[in-house]
Amino acid sequence: MRLRDLLDESVIQVGLKSRDKEQCFEEMIDLLVKAGRISDRAGALAAVRQREAQGTTGIGMAVGIPHGKHASIPTLTAALGISEKGIEFESIDGEKVRLVFMLLARVDDPGPHVRALAEIARLVQTPGFFRRLLDAKTPKDVLDVLDAEE
């Protein structure tokens, strides 16, 4: 699975305004609503919060991957946000999150969701990838980084 296939400029936010993970969840969900990717804002937000209650999705290395499954989601969808100052995320390493990959999936189809999580994990471990994303100034720049890496 290519993460790039899930993203376009409408679901990438360079310069997230959020200071904590709750604000981040709302900002990312609003991005997906505005892009027409999800129709049930409250349901999607509840799914992300429910998953987060099980344990932080701040995986360390300044990366967060909030995700959830909800009946209103017709197909796997994603958004990517970049924070200049970092977001308090209760990450496993205690560091602020700078890159946020949000995934929302169908309840009854875990395969694509799991493959997307694996691809994100692979990408963030690729030397130089993190820095190139942080240096991106526009959503198009972010897509160019993904195209080059995938």
67 noted as active-site residue = yes
What is the spatial distance between Cα 43 and Cα 17, in angstroms, rounded to a whole number? 23
What is the spatial distance between Cα 82 and Cα 13, in angstroms, rounded to a whole number? 6
Identify the active-site residue in 4, 21, 37, 67.
67
103 DSSP β-pair partners: 67, 78
Q: 13 — alpha (psi -120 to 50), left (phi > 0) or beta?
A: beta
> In terms of DSSP bridges, do strands 97-105 and 63-64 run parallel, antiparallel, or are they unpaired?
parallel
How far from the centroid of its chain's Cα atoms is residue 144's Cα? 17
**Spatial contact of 148 and 5, defined as CB atoms under 8 Å apart:** no
User: Could you list the active site residues?
Assistant: 67
